[in-house]
Amino acid sequence: MAETFANATQILEPFKGVKKVTIEEYFTSGHRTCQGCESALVMKLMVKAAGPRTIVLGSTGCMYVANTTMTKGKMKAEPINVIAFCGDGGGADMGLGAISATLTHKEYNSLILLYDNESYANTDIQLSGSTPYGANTTFSPPGSVKRLIHTRWKKNTAGMLAAGHTECRYVATVCASYAVEMMNKVRKALSIGGPTFIHSLDPCPKGWDYDPMLSHELGELAIETGIFPLYEVEDGIVRHYGKTKAIVEGRARKPVREYLLKQGRFAHFTEEDLGYFQKKVDEMWEKWEIPGVIPFRREVSVK
Ligand code: SF4
Ligand code: MG
């Protein structure tokens, strides 16, 4: 029999500052991720933001393999949050069709959270459609004959999904270096109703080859260099937020080399490679129709 709550969401008000964040933890010790894993932090913050009446599903990937155990129980008849998480391999590559299908179903109250560590990390750091230009992975090792094996630009997953699913009510990009903002985007996505999508950039010490203590700093640098813009698209309206908003309003971006050269996966980069990477990021801000979001340009008519 249909219940009256069948299509209702829980209303999750934003946390007004870090002191208002609830203290309950649902992602507890005992997981098996690497030291300094930012994706584990995303899982912890995601379920903390969602609260106790939540079901989390996952496709295979680091967070599935390292975190899941099987439990049984009976559910109460009341609105619940449904979150499906996936990695960049599982979501931005293999599962893209399934995500696209979900985002066309207005009646699905659900959140898909893509944690992007920029490789197939769980199976030993293979190249994915989200791997940045030139990065060293097990499928793209630099060599003396060919320095750069991977020469494709990273897929613009959040922008593509927002642009292509006009009835999807909410798409956002997040980074756990800005934890309260990240949790509030999760709460908004779960409250708004309908299918929603969040793309999280997650520094990965193993795949990106850096000291685990740098995870937080690298997340900040990804935003401050303009490589990964923070924005939300709510009912078709784009809003940049946080340090990305400041960049849109004129704040200088940090040079990409400050981010790239802290990671062993770019250790083979020459000045030419750094210059190319900087040029591509500059284009995102200076030439895209909506900076950092939509990569179209208007045709300039020549009279
Ligand atoms: Fe986390 Fe990367 Fe280790 Fe996977 S490989 S558990 S994403 S640090
Ligand atoms: Mg991955």
Judge contact between 182 and 172, C-beta under 8 A. Answer: no
| Alpha carbon of 274 to ligand 1 centroid (Å) | 26
pLDDT tens, position by position, 87-144: 999 999 999 999 999 999 988 899 999 999 999 999 999 999 999 999 999 999 999 9
Mutate to test the pocket of ligand 1, among 27, 31, 32, 34 (most ligand atoms within 8 A of CB): 34
Judge contact between 121 and 135, C-beta under 8 A. Answer: no
Is the CB of residue 207 below 6 angstroms from any atom belonging to ligand 1? yes
* Whether residue 6 has pLDDT greater than 80: no
Mean pLDDT of 154-160: 96
**Residues forming beta bridges with residue 171, ordered by sequence position:** 197, 233
Q: Which domains does the chain have, with CATH numbers?
A: 24-67+78-286 (3.40.50.970)
Spatial separation of the C-alpha atoms in residues 198 and 232, rounded to whole Å: 9
Mean pLDDT of 213-235: 97
Mean pLDDT of 174-200: 97
Ligand nearest the Cα atom of residue 218: 1
Q: Which helix or strand (DSSP H or E) is residue 158 part of?
A: helix 157-164
b/e 198-219 (16+ beta carbons within 10 angstroms → b): bbbbbbbbbbbbbeeebbbbbb
| Alpha carbon of 32 to ligand 1 centroid (Å) | 9
Is the CB of residue 33 below 6 angstroms from any atom belonging to ligand 1? yes
Ligand nearest the Cα atom of residue 202: 1
Q: Which atom of ligand 1 is nearest to the CA of 117?
A: 7
The residue that leads in pLDDT, 69 or 203, is: 203
| Alpha carbon of 210 to ligand 1 centroid (Å) | 12
- When pLDDT is cut at 50, 70 and 90, the band that residue 2 belongs to is very low
- When pLDDT is cut at 50, 70 and 90, the band that residue 75 belongs to is confident
Coil vs helix vs strand at 30: coil
Spatial separation of the C-alpha atoms in residues 139 and 168, rounded to whole Å: 35
Residue 19 DSSP class? G
pLDDT for position 137: 98
Is the CB of residue 117 below 6 angstroms from any atom belonging to ligand 1? yes
Judge contact between 102 and 209, C-beta under 8 A. Answer: no
Minimal-distance CA residue to ligand 1 atom 1: 37
* Whether residue 227 has pLDDT greater than 90: yes
pLDDT for position 1: 41
pLDDT cut 90: percent of the chain above it: 79
* Nearest by Cα to 196 from 165, 242, 160: 165
Q: Long-range contacts for 238-244 (Cβ within 8 Å, ≥24 apart)? A: 238/162, 238/290, 238/293, 240/291, 240/292, 241/181, 242/178, 242/181, 244/292
Ligand nearest the Cα atom of residue 42: 1
- When pLDDT is cut at 50, 70 and 90, the band that residue 180 belongs to is very high
- When pLDDT is cut at 50, 70 and 90, the band that residue 8 belongs to is confident
Whole-number average pLDDT of the chain:
92
User: How far, in Å, are 97, 146, 210 from residue 218 at the CA level?
Assistant: 30, 28, 10
Residue with tokens 């995500």: 99
pLDDT for position 58: 84
| Alpha carbon of 265 to ligand 2 centroid (Å) | 15
- When pLDDT is cut at 50, 70 and 90, the band that residue 69 belongs to is low
Minimal-distance CA residue to ligand 1 atom 7: 204
Q: Which atom of ligand 1 is nearest to the CA of 121?
A: 5
Residue with tokens 């090792």: 141
Is the CB of residue 41 below 6 angstroms from any atom belonging to ligand 1? no
Minimal-distance CA residue to ligand 1 atom 2: 204
- When pLDDT is cut at 50, 70 and 90, the band that residue 226 belongs to is very high
Overall pTM surpassing 0.85 (yes/no): yes
Strands of the sheet with 110-116, listed across from one edge: 54-58, 81-87, 110-116, 195-201, 170-174, 231-234, 237-240
* Whether residue 222 has pLDDT greater than 70: yes
pLDDT tens, position by position, 19-55: 999 999 988 887 888 888 999 999 999 999 999 989 8
Is the CB of residue 65 below 6 angstroms from any atom belonging to ligand 1? no
Question: What residues contact 1, with CB distance under 8 A and at least 6 apart?
Answer: none
Is the CB of residue 34 below 6 angstroms from any atom belonging to ligand 1? yes
Is the CB of residue 206 below 6 angstroms from any atom belonging to ligand 1? yes
pLDDT tens, position by position, 273-286: 999 999 999 999 99
pLDDT for position 303: 62
